[in-house]
């Protein structure tokens, strides 16, 4: 073989093996390169695991045999999930007494990344690892407590429900009472954007012919009743004839 060819072949053999994989099933298994024959030098592998929304991921290793080194500086497996990076893993789960096969890893999000990296040498053969993952339900009611009344967890999701007399708001999370439309004011009008708990209604009169007597601002209370925000009472204000109208009426009667 000519010299040039030898150089090309040597460079190809030395070239790091990059490999990126996507896994999107409900469960699966993956291994380091060439498992169980022993992984090569200069390997970089990564696995992006994605399960459907509403599920988290459980991951565990059934076998690990990676060249041991201080802080796993040489060769290692590493896990990224829930915006956190876990410590690198290396060593041998079978021979080393002190080595503990890592416990299961759990995510609350539906994505996880696993990377494997080997450096330029191994003094002896190391078989690598076997990892298993599965989609598991996330109990959103425990993790987030997203509902203000009842939270109902189910596999792949959750929903909220309300105590009697309340209804679920558009956000599908919070429960509120509904006061219904506020009472009409003779010679006046109502001004409100919503009729549910804690929303306000402001009365006004047909100025300048009528003037408001009493308080203008009412709130939908927890008892599903419009109450005056100042007094807490449901006492309605009134629209009384104003100066113009009083003069006009006087003129008309004289």
Residues that bind Ca ion (CB under 5 A): 67, 74-75, 118-119, 122, 137, 153, 158
| Shortest Å, Cβ 35 to Ca ion | 15
**Three-state secondary-structure class, residue 10:** helix
Q: How far apart are CA 10 and CA 66, in angstroms?
A: 25
Strands 128-137 and 55-66: antiparallel
Structure tokens at 60: 């565990």
Distance in Å from the first CA to the final CA of the chain: 127
| Shortest Å, Cβ 22 to Ca ion | 24
| Shortest Å, Cβ 151 to Ca ion | 10
| Shortest Å, Cβ 227 to Ca ion | 39
Smaller CB separation from Ca ion, 54 or 241: 54
Q: What is the DSSP letter of 247?
A: H
**Three-state secondary-structure class, residue 140:** helix
Closest among 197, 190, 246 to 217, alpha carbons compared: 190
Smaller CB separation from Ca ion, 144 or 207: 144
Smaller CB separation from Ca ion, 133 or 158: 158
């Amino acid at each position: 073989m000519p010299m040039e060819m030898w150089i090309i072949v040597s460079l190809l053999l030395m070239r790091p093996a990059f490999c990126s994989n996507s896994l999107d099933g409900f469960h699966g298994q993956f291994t380091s390169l060439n498992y169980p024959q022993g992984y090569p030098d200069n390997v970089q592998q990564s696995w992006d695991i994605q399960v459907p929304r509403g599920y988290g991921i459980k991951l565990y290793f059934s076998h690990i045999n990676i060249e041991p080194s201080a802080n796993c500086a040489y060769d290692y497996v590493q896990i990224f999930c829930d915006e956190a990076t876990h410590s690198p893993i290396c060593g041998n789960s079978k021979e080393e007494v002190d080595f503990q096969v890592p416990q299961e890893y759990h995510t609350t999000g539906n994505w996880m990344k696993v990377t494997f990296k080997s450096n330029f040498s191994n003094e002896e053969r190391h078989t690598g690892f076997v990892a298993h993952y599965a989609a598991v339900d996330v109990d959103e009611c425990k993790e987030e407590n997203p509902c203000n009344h009842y939270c109902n967890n189910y596999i792949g999701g959750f929903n909220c429900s309300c105590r009697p007399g309340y209804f679920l708001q558009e956000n599908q999370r919070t429960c509120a009472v509904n006061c219904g439309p506020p009472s009409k004011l003779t010679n006046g009008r109502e001004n409100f954007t919503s009729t549910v708990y804690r929303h306000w209604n402001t009365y006004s009169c047909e100025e300048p012919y009528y003037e408001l007597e009493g308080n203008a601002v009412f709130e939908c209370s927890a008892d599903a009743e419009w109450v005056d925000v100042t007094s807490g009472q449901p006492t309605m204000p009134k629209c009384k004839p104003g100066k113009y109208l009083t003069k006009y009426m006087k003129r008309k009667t004289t």
